[in-house]
Structure 1
Amino acid sequence: MYRVPFVLLAALVACVPSRSELRSPVDADLAKRLGAPAIVDGSNAQVAALLERPIDRENAVKIALANNPRLRAAFADLGIAGGEFAEAIGLGPLDVGLDLRFGGKTPEGNRLYEVELDVVQNLIGLVTAPRLRAAARADLAAARATAAATALRLAGKVEMAFHDLIAAQQELELRRTAFDAADAAATVRERMHDAGNTSDLAQARDRDAREQARVDLGRAEANVEVAREQLNALLGLSGDQTKWTAAGTLADLPAAAPALDDLETAAVAASLDLKSGTSSVEGAANRAGAEGLRAFLPDFGVGVSVVNHGAGLEIGPALRFGFPLFDQRAGQRARANARLARAEHERTAIAVELRANARATRITALAAYQEARHLRDVVLPLRQQIVDQTLLHYNAMDANPFELIVARRQLADAGHQYLDALRRYWNATSEVLALRRGVSLGAVAPIPMGGDAADEPSTH
């Protein structure tokens, strides 16, 4: 007997969803959450057009959404989820068996043969199909939420990376100005020293200030290049595409501190990660239920059997049974239940971490706002006043040059602190916006302590 099994699709209902069917809900959700249509996986021409002029924060986000390869990979996962969905809603394969039997010969000399054809459809899938289809729908919903979250998270990271780059460029300008001033002061001091009008100590102090300014300038130049490369990675740019320039400066503080009392509630309500986690729990629960049914139900197939004895056809029903006497799918059930437990714990972890991150973001944003405003309105004017008064005393020969150097250094330090606080405020604002859009960037960092204490002025 020769049995030739092969697989046929039982029905055409297992069609794979089209790309537009998979993507349309995600695109609509992104447009709603971003407040504008988002072009994900755009063309090279679109990216090139945006790179022709200096890019701002909004265009940087557009480039990333259109060009980031990791985002494209995340959206490709939708196709995987769509294929699994199509597989789950199908009835399963037909089992086709062909038996050929050859015997002796008839008195007339013809060879005796028998052909038996069985076509059987396993119907156990009809019992588990509702749960498996519900699981597939939940998995597809989770994949869509994950794809949208990936895009929104990328947008938030690009905004923060852009703030870092702009702040690094502004810091570089401050360091250049500081170096030029230190270099000029050291040059004048050298001329005075050559003329015998100043001490070796004063010359050494000015040279030391210049070399420290040179070190700070080198660091600032490196920070700009590093910030550019970090943004290049997020934008998906390489080669000649990396020759872009960035436009603008960090915006000043708003007149009032942001209203963030509802941030935790809004973040939970909008969270795509929670939505994906809930869908994953739903999918795992339905699969665990399907495995529970399969454990104690026999495989049951119904079909048709056709036999040809050479003298005519015989047609009748065909039944197949498989009883779970020795294999009650204990391993599959344990695995499904463990996956359900894991999904539930992960959803709980997402909720706990999301709430904590929202509270921390609120603290960070308000603290950065208060710090930047205090530096701008109180510390910087006070440091400028100290420089002005020290200069008057220096001109009146009532203060030594080192006191003036320290006063100017303290003013510059306050400027650096203000710029850093402003950068941290706008980055925290991007985190706030991301939470309201439905994702957490996880970018909350400890608030840095104050800058290096300046040396006390010497009176000797």
Structure 2
Amino acid sequence: MRRAVRVASALVGAAYLAGCASLGINDALNSTNTSASQFTGGNLELSRTEEQQKARAGLSQELLSKPLAQDDAVRLALANSPTMQALVAQGWADIAAANQAGRMPNPVFTFERFRLGDELEIGRLLSFGLADLLLLPKRVSIAESLAAQAQVQLTGAVVDQITQVRQVWVRAVAAQQSLKYAEQVKESAEASAELARRMQAVGNFSRLQRARQQVFYADATTQLASARHATTAAREELTRALGLTDVQAAQLKLPERLPDLPRAPREASQVASAAGEQRLDIQQAKAQLEVAGRSQGINLLSTFVDVEAGYRHDTVFDNAGGGSATRRGWEFDIQLPLFDWGTARRDALNAQALAAANRYDAAVRGATSQLRENYSAYRTAYDIARHYRDEIVPLRQSMAEENVLRYNGMLIGAFELLAEARDQIASVTSAINAQQQFWLADASLKAAVIGRPMAGMTSVSSSSPASTLSAGAAH
């Protein structure tokens, strides 16, 4: 009886020890809202009740009732996107699976009943893995590392999704803004083509001169069609990122233009100081290294031997004599390494531990390099956008005003004035593209600081659809 009590006490203690290792989804959400507060604003949650769903629907309706700013787009995605909810639910599943790794397998109760002549034998066996019980503290420690790894993965997935929302919003607003200027170019080209037709009709224009204006009008019409499709595609991409229904998509309103550039760019020293060991990529590689190291010791033992322990309590009834006898004892089932000595499994464990160590080393070495690359893209995009804002666009505006004066003084004709207007519009379109590249790089830099350098990486380019229009206007 004392042995049974000791066995039961050991099993209860094991169950308690395993239960202490649990990390809940609420703990993971609080950690994500704290470590990535600049992304979630503390609003990340998993909706599991009808009240939460109604609150999310109300917030979504409120945000859609006005032009959607970038920060509001992030709030809307957190509240409305089923993709975001799926990420959180998957994180919950991963954390639960990690917690399961710290649980000891349930004991097995075996009941046997045998009859031989006048004898009836009833056997009862309670067995469990002895190695599992002895190594339970290490299993709990591994489960904690796995849960921490799952939590970091959840935070990284949320950061990726929010970065995507920010960049998609930028592209949608920029496409809408560029469409307006494409429409102005088309109207200018249409007026130029009509004027050329009339002048040829009265003999003041050659066929070649009119053909040049007509070709530009045809190109402008094509560019306008492309701009309309780009606007639709960007808007639908934003609709998917926000998880909008058809009714909500019809309610979506965007600002007329992108936000102004900040007065000054972020300094490289500020960006470097914000990054460090708290980076998600380094945390994830470190968690993988800890799991590999702790698992190696446990799994190496199982490659040599596996022991099952059991407590037996048998009762034998003698029907002829009317008596009974009881047998008690222990059983041990030991796996004998006769055919498989576990060398291949040990090689795999050593290789996994070595790979995890090198991945951690690579993450640490590459972190600062990736951050410098993202900052270079950010700073270059800022300088280009500011150059367009402060130099090119004002110069084009000044040239346009001067050409209006020259046209009023009959020093230039209507075609020269229209060509200058088209060049000015093309410069504004290029400025919009440069501003778009800056805000894309800004979102990418924010992700790189927290340790998601591949989230929304963007290249810096000053080219834009307006280049084709500018080339046509030069004729």
Q: What is the TM-score with the length of structure 2 in the denominator? A: 0.83
Aligned match of 2:177:
170
Deviations, residues 285-315 of structure 1 (Å, cap 9, x unaligned)? 2111111122334515142433323422424
> Bigger shift: 449-458 or 94-103?
449-458
Query: Is 1:235–2:248 an aligned residue pair?
Result: no
Partner of 1:419: 432
For residues 353 and 165 of structure 1, the distance between their equivalents in structure 2, rounded to whole angstroms, comes to 32
- The reply on whether 1:250 has 2:255 as its aligned counterpart is no
- Asked whether 1:289 is paired with 2:274, we answer no
1:364/1:298 CA distance change after superposition, 3 Å: closer
Query: Which residue matches 1:101?
Result: 114
Are 1:432 and 2:451 counterparts? no
Q: CA deviation at 1:76?
A: 2.2
Does the aligned pair in 1 maintain the 2:177–2:256 contact within 8 Å?
no
State the partner residue of 2:460: 447
**Greater share of helix residues, 1 or 2?**
2
Instruction: Rate the CA distance shift 1:447–1:201 in 2: closer, same or farther, 3 A.
Output: same
**Whole-angstrom CA distance in 2 between matches of 1:86 and 1:94:** 18
Aligned to 1:357, the other structure's residue is in SS state: helix
1:301 to 1:62, Cα distance in 2 relative to 1, 3 A: same
SS in 2 for 1:430: helix
- Cα deviations across residues 103-127 of structure 1 (Å, max 9, x unaligned)? 22xxxxxx32222222223211123
Judged with a 3 Å threshold, the aligned counterparts in structure 2 of structure 1 residues 393 and 134 are, in CA distance, closer, same or farther, namely same
Aligned residue runs from structure 1 range 262-341, under 5 A = 262-310=270-318, 311-326=323-338, 327-341=340-354
What's the offset of the Cα at 1:212? 1.7
Aligned letter for 1:309? F
Percent of aligned pairs sharing the same letter: 22
Alignment of 1:16-415 (within 5 A): 21-31=24-34, 33-35=36-38, 36-42=41-47, 43=53, 45-46=57-58, 47-104=60-117, 111-243=118-250, 244-310=252-318, 311-326=323-338, 327-393=340-406, 399=412, 403-415=416-428
C-alpha displacement of 1:367: 0.9
My pick for the range that moved more, 264-273 or 54-63, is 264-273
CA contact (8 A) 2:125 2:310 kept: no
The residue that corresponds to 1:5 in the other structure is none
CA contact (8 A) 2:67 2:254 kept: yes
Q: C-alpha displacement at 1:389, in angstroms?
A: 4.0
Offset at 1:449? 5.2
Measured at CA, do residues 56 and 16 of structure 1 come closer, stay the same or move farther in structure 2, by a change above 3 Å?
A: farther
Q: CA deviation at 1:283?
A: 1.2
Instruction: Answer yes or no: is the 8 Å Cα contact 2:296–2:349 preserved in 1.
Output: yes
Match of 1:115, SS state, is strand
Indicate the larger mover: 190-199 or 166-175. Answer: 190-199
Number of residues of Structure 1 aligned to a counterpart in Structure 2: 444
User: Which AA in structure 1 matches 2:239?
Assistant: N
**Which deviates further from its counterpart, 117-126 or 438-447?**
438-447
Does the C-alpha gap of structure 1 residues 383 and 90 become closer, same or farther in structure 2, counting only changes over 3 Å? closer
CA distance in 1, matches of 2:278, 2:100: 31
Give yes or no for contact 1:102–1:113 (8 Å, CA) kept in 2: yes
Per-residue Cα deviation, 1:10-35 (whole angstroms, up to 9, x for no partner): 655455998x9322332343245324
CA contact (8 A) 2:192 2:415 kept: no
Q: What amino acid is aligned across from residue 248 of structure 2 in structure 1?
A: Q
- What secondary structure does 2:456 align onto? coil
Distance of aligned partners of 1:71 and 1:289 in 2 relative to their CA distance in 1, 3 Å threshold: farther
Residue 431 (structure 1) shift = 1.7
Cα offset for 1:401? 5.7
Deviations 1:214-240 (A, max 9, x none): 111111111111111211221122432
Deviates more, 1:358-367 or 1:199-208: 199-208
Q: Report the secondary structure of 1:305's partner residue.
A: strand
Preserved CA contact (<8 Å) 1:172 1:220: yes
Q: Which amino acid aligns with 1:131?
A: K
Q: Which moved more, 1:351-360 or 1:284-293?
A: 351-360
Cα root mean square deviation, aligned = 3.0
Measure, in 2, the Cα distance between the counterparts of 1:352 and 1:370: 28
1:236–1:354 Cα change, 3 Å: farther
Distance 1:29 1:195, change over 3 A: same
Please tell me whether the aligned partners of residues 402 and 457 of structure 1 are also in contact (alpha carbons under 8 angstroms): no
Distance, in Å, in 2 between the alignment partners of 1:429 and 1:132 is: 43
TM-score for the superposition, normalised by structure 1: 0.86
1:391-449 deviations in Å (ceiling 9; x for gaps): 55555565566654543333222212211111111111112222334433443333325
Per-residue CA deviations over 1:180-214 (Å, capped at 9, x if unaligned) read 22222323333333344433333323222222221
CA distance in 1, matches of 2:113, 2:366: 65
Q: CA offsets per residue over residues 152-173 of structure 1, 9 Å max, x none?
A: 2211211111111111111011
Q: Relative to 1, partners in 2 of residues 1:120 and 1:455: Cα closer, same or farther, differing over 3 Å?
A: closer
Residues 60-100 of structure 1: per-residue CA shift (max 9 Å, x gap): 11121233333333322333334334433333232333333
User: Which consecutive unaligned segments of at least 5 residues does structure 1 have?
Assistant: 1-7, 105-110
